[in-house]
Structure 1
Amino acid sequence: MRMRVRLRNVLLLTAVLCFSPLLWLSLFSQNDHDEYEAILEQRFAELRDRLHYAESLSRQRENDLFILRNHFSYLVSTMHTNGTVQLNRTLEDMLLATKTNMSGFVGTIHLPSIFTHLPHLSGHPESMRPAFKMSKNRYGVSIVMGVPTIKREKISYLTETLRSLIDELNAEEKEDCLIVLFIAEPWDLNYVKDLGNKVHSLFRDHIQSGLLEVIAPPAGFYPDLEHLKESFGDTKTRVRWRTKQNLDYSFLMLHARSRGVYYVQLEDDVIAKPGYLSIMKSFAHQQKIDDWMLLEFSALGFIGKMFKSADLPYVVEFFLMFYADKPIDWLLDHLLMVKVCNPEKDLKHCGRMKLAVRRRFKPSLFQHVGVTSSLKGKVQKLKDKDFGKLGLFRAHVNPSATLSTSLHTYKKYQLFKAYVGETFFWATNPSEGDIIDFKFTPPVNVEKFLFRSGNIDHMDDRLYDATVEILPAQQPKGPIDLSDLNLFAGQKQPKENGYYIIGLFNDKGFVESTVPETLGKIDVLRIHFHSKSENWVILSEILIKERKA
Structure 2
Amino acid sequence: MGIPTVKREKQHYLINTLHSLLYELSEEQKKDCVIIVFVAEVNAEYVNSVAESIKTSFPREIQSGILEVISPPASYYPDLSNLKKTFGDSEDRVRWRTKQNLDYSFLMLYAQPKGTLCGISTNFQNYIRVFKAGVNIKLVIFKQQQKYLNMHLLVLLSGKLFKSEDLPLIVEFFLMFYKDKPIDWLIDHLLWVKVCNPEKDAIHCEKEKAELRIRAKPSLFQHMGIYSSLAGKIQNLKDKDFGKNVLHKAHNNPPAKVDTSLQIYQQYTLEKIYKGEDCFWASAPVAGDYIRFTFLNPLKIERYFFRSGNMEHPGDKLFNTTVEVLPADVSLSKFNYPATKDGYLKIGAFENGIAEGGVSQSIGKIQAIRLSVNSDSPVWAILSEVSMKVVSIHCKDFEQCIEIGTT
Residues 515 and 333 of structure 1: is their aligned pair in 2 closer, same or farther, counting only changes over 3 Å? farther
- 2:70 aligned partner: 215
AA aligned to 2:236 is: K
Match of 2:220 among 331, 344, 365: 365
Match of 2:82 among 227, 248, 252: 227
Matched, 1:329 2:205: no
Per-residue CA deviation, residues 408-449 of structure 1 (Å, 9 max, x unaligned), is xxxxxxxxxxxxxxxxxxxxxxxxxxxxxxxxxxxxxxx99x
Match of 2:17 among 157, 161, 164: 161
Residues 307 and 515 of structure 1: is their aligned pair in 2 closer, same or farther, counting only changes over 3 Å? farther
Task: Check the 8 A contact 1:254/1:313 in 2, yes or no.
Answer: yes
User: Runs of at least 4 residues of structure 1 off by over 6 A?
Assistant: 391-394
Name stretches of at least 5 consecutive residues in structure 2 with no aligned partner. 119-127, 134-140, 250-301, 306-360, 368-385, 403-407
Residues 321 and 276 of structure 1: is their aligned pair in 2 closer, same or farther, counting only changes over 3 Å? same
- C-alpha displacement of 1:342: 1.2
Take 2:12 and 2:142, find their aligned partners in 1: how far apart are those partners?
A: 32
Take 2:212 and 2:152, find their aligned partners in 1: how far apart are those partners?
A: 11
- 1:42 aligned partner: none
Matched, 1:254 2:254: no
AA aligned to 1:346 is: D
Per-residue CA deviation, residues 109-159 of structure 1 (Å, 9 max, x unaligned), is xxxxxxxxxxxxxxxxxxxxxxxxxxxxxxxxxxxx111111111111111
Take 1:179 and 1:483, find their aligned partners in 2: how far apart are those partners?
A: 39
Take 1:359 and 1:311, find their aligned partners in 2: how far apart are those partners?
A: 16
RMSD, aligned CA: 3.8
- 1:299 aligned partner: 155
Task: Check the 8 A contact 1:262/1:308 in 2, yes or no.
Answer: no
Task: Check the 8 A contact 1:261/1:308 in 2, yes or no.
Answer: no
Residues 360 and 274 of structure 1: is their aligned pair in 2 closer, same or farther, counting only changes over 3 Å? closer
Report the TM-score when normalising by structure 2.
0.56
Per-residue CA deviation, residues 13-64 of structure 1 (Å, 9 max, x unaligned), is xxxxxxxxxxxxxxxxxxxxxxxxxxxxxxxxxxxxxxxxxxxxxxxxxxxx
- C-alpha displacement of 1:163: 0.8
- 2:342 aligned partner: none
- 2:273 aligned partner: none
- 1:347 aligned partner: 202
Task: Check the 8 A contact 1:173/1:277 in 2, yes or no.
Answer: no
Residues 234 and 350 of structure 1: is their aligned pair in 2 closer, same or farther, counting only changes over 3 Å? same
Per-residue CA deviation, residues 373-414 of structure 1 (Å, 9 max, x unaligned), is 0111100011111113246999xxxxxxxxxxxxxxxxxxxx
Per-residue CA deviation, residues 254-304 of structure 1 (Å, 9 max, x unaligned), is 0000111499xxxxxxxxx972289xxxx999x9x9652012211111x22
- C-alpha displacement of 1:247: 0.3
Residues 216 and 340 of structure 1: is their aligned pair in 2 closer, same or farther, counting only changes over 3 Å? same
Match of 1:377 among 184, 207, 232: 232
| SS in structure 2 at match of 1:258 | helix
Matched, 1:206 2:61: yes
Match of 1:183 among 32, 39, 44: 39
Residues 485 and 354 of structure 1: is their aligned pair in 2 closer, same or farther, counting only changes over 3 Å? farther
Residues 195 and 392 of structure 1: is their aligned pair in 2 closer, same or farther, counting only changes over 3 Å? closer
Residues 294 and 333 of structure 1: is their aligned pair in 2 closer, same or farther, counting only changes over 3 Å? same
- C-alpha displacement of 1:363: 1.2
Take 2:247 and 2:60, find their aligned partners in 1: how far apart are those partners?
A: 30
Take 1:511 and 1:246, find their aligned partners in 2: how far apart are those partners?
A: 44
Take 1:347 and 1:364, find their aligned partners in 2: how far apart are those partners?
A: 26
Q: How many residues end up aligned between the 2 structures?
A: 258
- C-alpha displacement of 1:243: 0.6
Take 2:90 and 2:30, find their aligned partners in 1: how far apart are those partners?
A: 42
| SS in structure 2 at match of 1:248 | helix
| SS in structure 1 at match of 2:11 | coil
Task: Check the 8 A contact 1:262/1:306 in 2, yes or no.
Answer: no
Matched, 1:171 2:27: yes
Residues 341 and 485 of structure 1: is their aligned pair in 2 closer, same or farther, counting only changes over 3 Å? farther
Take 2:105 and 2:220, find their aligned partners in 1: how far apart are those partners?
A: 24
| SS in structure 2 at match of 1:352 | helix
AA aligned to 1:237 is: D
Take 1:212 and 1:346, find their aligned partners in 2: how far apart are those partners?
A: 46
AA aligned to 1:383 is: K
Take 1:342 and 1:392, find their aligned partners in 2: how far apart are those partners?
A: 47
- 2:122 aligned partner: none
AA aligned to 1:361 is: A
AA aligned to 2:16 is: E
Task: Check the 8 A contact 1:366/1:387 in 2, yes or no.
Answer: yes
- 1:315 aligned partner: 170
Task: Check the 8 A contact 1:246/1:328 in 2, yes or no.
Answer: yes
AA aligned to 2:17 is: T
Take 2:53 and 2:247, find their aligned partners in 1: how far apart are those partners?
A: 34
- 1:197 aligned partner: 52
Match of 2:242 among 354, 378, 387: 387
Take 1:361 and 1:380, find their aligned partners in 2: how far apart are those partners?
A: 22
| SS in structure 2 at match of 1:344 | coil
Overall identity of the aligned pairs, in %: 53
AA aligned to 2:65 is: G
Alignment of 1:140-159 (within 5 A): 145-159=1-15
Take 2:20 and 2:11, find their aligned partners in 1: how far apart are those partners?
A: 17
AA aligned to 2:206 is: G
Task: Check the 8 A contact 1:262/1:307 in 2, yes or no.
Answer: no
AA aligned to 1:299 is: V
AA aligned to 2:209 is: K
Take 2:18 and 2:10, find their aligned partners in 1: how far apart are those partners?
A: 19
- C-alpha displacement of 1:317: 0.3
Per-residue CA deviation, residues 452-479 of structure 1 (Å, 9 max, x unaligned), is xxxxxxxxxxxxxxxxxxxxxxxxxxxx
Residues 393 and 294 of structure 1: is their aligned pair in 2 closer, same or farther, counting only changes over 3 Å? farther
Take 1:181 and 1:174, find their aligned partners in 2: how far apart are those partners?
A: 16
Take 1:361 and 1:262, find their aligned partners in 2: how far apart are those partners?
A: 26
- C-alpha displacement of 1:189: 1.4
Task: Check the 8 A contact 2:114/2:142 in 1, yes or no.
Answer: no
Residues 230 and 511 of structure 1: is their aligned pair in 2 closer, same or farther, counting only changes over 3 Å? closer
Larger of the two Rg values belongs to structure: 1
| SS in structure 1 at match of 2:225 | coil
Residues 511 and 215 of structure 1: is their aligned pair in 2 closer, same or farther, counting only changes over 3 Å? closer
Higher helix fraction (1 or 2): 1
Take 1:362 and 1:392, find their aligned partners in 2: how far apart are those partners?
A: 21
